Structures are given as structure tokens and as C-alpha cells.
Structure 1
Amino acid sequence: MGLSELGLGIVWTNFNSSAGTWGCMSNYFPGMNANGTRRGLKRNGTAVITDNFYIIKTSSDIDYGKVGQIEQSIYLSEGDPDNTIMGDLYSIYFHGDIELSKGGCSVETHKAVDMGNVSTKTFKGVGSVGAEMPFTITLSECEGDAVNVLLDLEPTYGYADKNNGVIALSDEEGAASGVGIQLLLNGQKINGNAEHLTWPFQKGVTTIPFSARYYQVADSVQPGAANSTLVFYTWYE
């Protein structure tokens, strides 16, 4: 029995340090897209490529108690500016069995945080911050024997300051510069180098308290739109 028959699927995301952004690569699994894609690798120097894979729920009808097989290959090749394949960079093949037991939570699919209007006069130097704007990630209908909820964060535009958990602003026209958005979990700054965040699992409803604030990352701050997005992935242990 394959994953799709269990009501599951695989998401593949990829971060290229040369481009500085995460990209969803799932539609480039072999056989799904004949044209391929380029990730903007440098001709000289070093590029670090990070691949993450997630098993996700794709159907409301989950076949608990059944065993499914995972078998997937991926290939990343180098292309010239015309997208002509020059050779394989690396390949990954993974396989195994997955047995589904009932557990986990229903997760909010979208969360908008209003950061308000902040004057550039608020920022006095690198590391100065604006007011905290609290928000929560609510997991409902939680059941099972998990102890912790694990969260993995993927900022769409990367980090402006990874050590201090500051995500970069969008590159839209008229965007502000010199600041990013710092994320805090339960009042404590997030380390973007950490493998994941951990929060205690609660049966019924698990509420995870976050807050966000603007954080100065450069010597000068220019006004403009200061928006960003990121993706939360959750799993349980």
C-alpha cells in the first residue's frame, strides 16, 4: 500500500544559500515535471543546499492501523543559463514502512499578525526593537500519547539575523530596509540555528504562545512596507 492510499503525501522543500530563499520542490519529484528547475547556484564559490522532507495528511479519510510503503527518489542537477542539464549534483533515495496510529492535532492553516505602524525613530541602533505583538498557534482536537509538539520554521525570505531569530522582510517594491521581524516563543527569542522548537503537548487543545516585533539589523532604517511570511511545520514526539 502506497502513501497516497493511506491519505498521506510527501512535501519536499529546498533552501539554497546562494539564492537565500526556501522553495517548495514537491512538483519536481521524478515523473511530475519534465522541465525541471534551476536553483541559481553560483559558478564559483560555495553554495549550501538544505533539503527537508515532510509526510503530510492529504485526505480527511486516514486509514489508521495500516502499514504503507515510502519509496521516493529525487535528483538535483546543475544547469546552464539556458536550463540545459550539465550534470547531476546529487541524488537522494529513501524508502521504508510507515504505520499509522491515531494521534496528533488539527492545525490552523493561516495566521495573520498585524504588526501595526512603527516610526523609524523607534530604532536607535542595531538590536533595538519595536513593540511586541502577541499571537498564538492553536492546535485543536489533539489526541494520542505524544509528549511534545515540535515546530520547524521556514521563513520565505530567509533570516536577516539567524542567531536572534529575525526573519527577513519581503522584497516587494517599496519595502522597508534595515529591519527584520524577530520571533519569540513564550517571550524568549528563537534561535534560527536550532533544529526545531519544542512545546509541551496537551490533549484537547495545545496553545503555543508566540510574539513578533521589528528588530533593527542594519545601521540605518528606511521606511516602507515591512511584511514577511513563514511556514510552520508541526510534528510530535
Structure 2
Amino acid sequence: MCYQNKHRLRWRFIPSFLWLCSVPVEADCNYQGEGFEPAQPFNIQQPAVYVQRDAPAGTVISSFITNGTGDIDYCTGTGTITYEMIKFSNPSAIPNYYNTNVPGVGISLRFTSAGWYFSKIRQYSVLSPTITVVAPLEVTLIKTGEITSGAIGSGLLAKAYGDDGIQSLTVNFTGNQVTQLACSITTPDLSFPLGDISAANFGSTVGTVPSGAQNTQNLGLDCDTNANINVMLQGAQNPDAGARSVLALTGQGNVDVAKGVGVQLLYNGAPLELNSRIVLKRSAGGQETFPVTARYYQTQPTVTTGKANASATLDLTYQ
């Protein structure tokens, strides 16, 4: 809706013929008047919402628009219309959003055409003679912090009234479940024994992978349905390798540590680059298995003998 070219609540102007009669001007907005058609209640139903556990605060998790018709108030003078958030009126840390009963979930209500939001109490002065007409309303749910899955409460979300105090706009809200999705790890530690490999099995070319110098283990997860599984390899890059997928050896540079070799981790045959997040899949729910392969990788033209161990972390997120 629009108000004095600032707010796009729609106004319907009532012509006034001063020569027909003389009436006193009242500074009122009331729930009655010539041509007034009361707005029907807005009944908003929230769909079930699923949120990835690691989505950042400020992420919109659901948004839906409802249309309505009718009038809010009839103003015969310079009156006031008051808009109030009722069901949820505790402001969150994010402007225009109010905390719901579900931890980590905020809610907003706004007139789409005007672009302004309902607040705990918001008042507008209205010039006469006008009828304030209902415009589409948008409800938005946003992540404000760590979410605890649960159902958002139902009830009177918001209302509006004029100077007579009669409730002229009713916004009813039916809440639904908000579920945070994630996975639990069933294989918290993966070990890749590569055994003793002769230095003679390497060649003179950087990038050589000696035969038999690899091992595959399965990363196991137990996931909620629709969890988006992402992985990122974290560790120390091998200083002798240009490839960002080669790990440094533990104690690299020490006299008892092998030289000219590093360790690579692969998923589906492709090397995992350090500090680069990749999407594994959207889970269908239940047990998920991801094969991860570790192998030796030649980093210099010559390989010398010694210990060749490495460690890294697979950082799993759900976004």
C-alpha cells in the first residue's frame, strides 16, 4: 500500500462535494464508513521447513505470500492506523525479524507492495478522506542462530486497528515443523595403511604414483533425509608439490623422514584439494558410504627412504 508516495499501501480516495452539505471534520480512522468493505482475515499456513545445519545466520529458510481483499479503515480526518505484531513480538538480532518459539528461527511480516514490515507497534497518520485497502502480505522465516528442531506456534500473528480501537485487520498464522538436517559420523577415524614401499618403485618423474601404494577406506555417515553433505580436506600442503592436493609428511625435513614423496587423498578417483569444499550428495536418509583413497605421490625427481606418514582432517558440513 502507499502512504503519501512513501508506502505502497493502496488508498481509495472518496470524493467530497463541499457545496452539498457542511459536516464537521473528525480526526478519526474507524471501522465503518461510506463504501467501506471490511477486509477478511488473512489465514496463513506455514509449510514444513528443512534447514541445513551449517547454513549461516541470516539465511532465509522459507518465504510465502498471501493475497487478501477488503479495507482496513475509513478515515474522515487526519487519523491514525496502528499495526502490531502479536504472536511473536520479541525482536531478534536481525532487523525486522522477531524470535519465534523455535530457537534459531525468526519471523517477519510485511506488505509486499509497500516494502515495510510490521513491528511490535507501528503507527501511521492518514489523511482524509481515504479508505486503506489491504495489499499482499509476505511472511518470511529466517535463521537467526543455532536451530533446535520444533514446530512454530500458531495463533494471531498480527493485527491493525484505527482510532476507534476496533480490530480491522486480522492475520492468523498456522505454524508447522522446522527441522534442522545433518549427519552423524559412523567412522570418526580413518586409517590408511600403505605398507612398506621400495623407493625403487618410484620413477624420476614428479607425479608418479607407485603400483600398490594406495589404500581405500569408507567414510560412513548416518544422515537425515535431504541433508546436503559437503566435505573439505584440511591439512598441511607439501612444500615440494605444486598440486594443492598433496599433503606434507609428518616431520617433513627431518633426517628420518622420506624425501621426494607426499600423500594424496582422493574421492571417486579425483584428488581432494586442500581447503576446497566439494558437494558429495544430497542424502536420501539413513546410512551413506563414501570411498576415500590415500596414495603416495612423487614430489621430486628422486625419492629417498624414510618414514612417510601424514595426517589430515575431513571437515564435513551440511549447507
Report the TM-score when normalising by structure 2: 0.41
Give the superposition deviation at 1:165. Answer: 1.3
Which residue is equivalent to 1:133? 215
Change (3 A) 1:224 1:196: same
Tell me, yes or no, if structure 1 residue 120 matches structure 2 residue 168: no
- Secondary structure of 1:150's counterpart equals strand
Which residue is equivalent to 1:99? 147
**Residue identity opposite 1:127 in structure 2:** G
Which residue is equivalent to 2:280? 199
Give the superposition deviation at 1:128. Answer: 0.6
Which residue is equivalent to 1:55? none
Change (3 A) 1:117 1:65: farther
Change (3 A) 1:199 1:123: same
- In structure 1, stretches of 5+ residues that fail to align are 1-7, 9-63, 69-95
Tell me, yes or no, if structure 1 residue 171 matches structure 2 residue 251: yes
Higher strand residue share:
1
Change (3 A) 1:162 1:98: farther
Deviations 1:77-129 (A, max 9, x none): xxxxxxxxxxxxxxxxxxx6332444211113211111111110111121111
- In structure 2, stretches of 5+ residues that fail to align are 1-52, 54-100, 106-143, 149-178
Deviations 1:129-167 (A, max 9, x none): 123311121112x11422x31111111x33343635111
Change (3 A) 1:192 1:162: farther
Runs of 4+ with >6 A deviation: none
Equivalent runs, 1:52-201 vs 2, <5 Å: 65-67=102-104, 97-100=145-148, 101-107=179-185, 108-124=187-203, 125-130=205-210, 131=212, 132-140=214-222, 142-146=223-227, 148-155=228-235, 157-160=236-239, 161=241, 163=243, 165-171=245-251, 173=254, 174-192=256-274, 195-201=276-282
Q: Please provide the CA RMSD for this pair.
A: 2.6
Q: Structure 1 vs Structure 2: percent identity of aligned residues?
A: 27
Distance 1:208 1:129 in 2: 22
Contact 1:151 1:198 in 2 (8 A): yes
Give the superposition deviation at 1:227. Answer: 0.3
Bigger radius of gyration: 2
Report the TM-score when normalising by structure 1: 0.54
Deviations 1:164-186 (A, max 9, x none): 51111111651111100111111
